Amino acid sequence: MTSAALTVLRPPVLRPGDTVMLVSPSGPTRPERVARGIELLTGWGLRPVLAPHAYDRQGYLAGADELRAADLNAAFADPQVRGVICTRGGYGAQRVVDAIDMDAVRRDPKVVAGFSDVTALQLALWRGARLAGVHGPGAAWTDERTPLRSAESLHAALMTTEPVTVTAVPEEETYAVRVPGRATGPLLGGNLCLIAASLGTPDMPDLTGAVLLVEDVQEPPYKVDRMLTQLRRAGALDGLAAVAVGQFTNCADGWPVTVADVLAERLGDLGVPVLGGLPIGHGVGQLTVPVGTEATLDTATATLTVAPAVR
């Protein structure tokens, strides 16, 4: 059965007074940045609570695998917790996703927000529970990279049930990556590196009929080429409805080939609409989008419109 044919589990919208747990399923986080995120969430009327091991450190991981998994499962099992917000990405979510209690997720679905390495968690929750999620900034907040418009976008995705529309902007390096057309399908994906790393695992979604979202950071053009080529050769991009291209931030090296060149070449002959220039990813002004819900990509209006992840 294709992704487009499956029923999506949409968690309840967050409301003032709701408790949200801040978890670190990937890399270690910085308390001073999380403090800013707590201030922001509190200002929205939410009650942020730190998971017991949110500030743990074990090398490049935010603590031992079993402790990171325990924090996630505690959040999913606690009826007082209404949302799960990851502090940051980094690396490590793939190491714990097989330990998630999917029965608890299905019994009491909660909105899960994050991006970057959290793509692995979002894909696992889609595989195990068909849970819609939110691809947006984590709780380790930096006002320089994620200014007011970023905060407003995350707030709208978490605390309203309105569709989300993101418009491509000429300032983004990927703006020229475009294949004309209009298509509708569930928005799946996120960080390109994590999508490619999911090939061969149970978490790699069937992208037939889907709008694929891709973004990345600090990956030179040849590595972006390699990941897209791997996805193509594996047949993962067969039957796509469209591709939404987000921010590819600091993706340059010494060769006279840009990441936009690579994206245009590797995506341009798939026979589906492609829209670049979307401010979704690791860049300044990052905006939030739901993942797992129906999206319409329209190159004529340069927009990606996505149904809410929450109900």
Q: What is the mean pLDDT of residues 112-125?
A: 98
The mean per-residue pLDDT over the stretch 129-137 comes to 98
> What pLDDT sits at residue 78?
98
Tracing tokens 């002004």 back to the chain, one arrives at: 285
What is the predicted pLDDT for the residue at 2?
A: 55
Residue type, 203: D
| Cα gap 43→3, rounded to integer Å | 37
Domains, the chain, with CATH or none: 3-159 (3.40.50.10740), 164-306 (3.50.30.60)
Q: What is the mean pLDDT of residues 90-98?
A: 98
Average pLDDT over residues 119-138: 98
Q: Quick one: three-class SS letters along 169-200?
A: CCCCHHHHCEECCEEEEEEEEEEHHHHHHCCC
- CA dist 247 and 303 (Å) reads 15
Dist. CA 302–CA 284, nearest whole Å: 19
Secondary structure (3-state) at 63: coil
- The predicted pLDDT at position 209 comes to 98
| 231 and 196 Cβ atoms separated by less than 8 Å | yes
Over residues 59-88, the mean pLDDT reads 98
Distance CA 292, CA 123 (A): 9
pLDDT higher than 90, residue 6: no
Determine the longest span between alpha carbons in the chain, in angstroms: 54
pLDDT at res. 280: 98
| DSSP H helices in the chain | 31-43, 65-77, 102-107, 118-129, 148-159, 192-197, 221-233, 259-268
- What's this model's pTM, rounded to 2 decimal places? 0.97
Calculate the alpha carbon distances from 299 to 88, 164, 171, 186, 274 in Å: 31, 16, 17, 17, 7
Contacts of 64 (CB under 8 A, 6+ apart): 56, 58
The reported pLDDT for the residue numbered 211 is: 98
Tens digit of each residue's pLDDT (9 = 90 or more) over 10-62:
999 999 999 999 999 999 999 999 999 999 999 999 999 999 999 999 999 99
The pLDDT of residue 172 is 98
Beta 164-167 vs 303-306: how paired, if at all?
antiparallel
Q: What percentage of the chain carries pLDDT values higher than 90?
A: 98
Residue 3: pLDDT over 60: no
Neighbours of 170 (CB within 10 A): 8
pLDDT, position 268: 98
Residue range 279-305: average pLDDT?
98
The predicted model gives 293-309 an average pLDDT of: 98
Residue 287 pLDDT: 98
Compute the C-alpha angle 52/123/2, nearest 5°. 150
Which pair of tokens denotes residue 277?
Answer: 């220039």
Tokens of 195: 């999508």
149 in Cβ contact with 268 (< 8 Å): no
Supply the residues annotated as catalytic. 116, 215, 282
1 pLDDT tier (thresholds 50, 70, 90):
very low
Mean pLDDT of 132-159: 98
pLDDT in tens, 208-251: 999 999 999 999 999 999 999 999 999 999 999 999 999 999 99
Q: Distance between CA 212 and CA 68 in Å, rounded?
A: 28
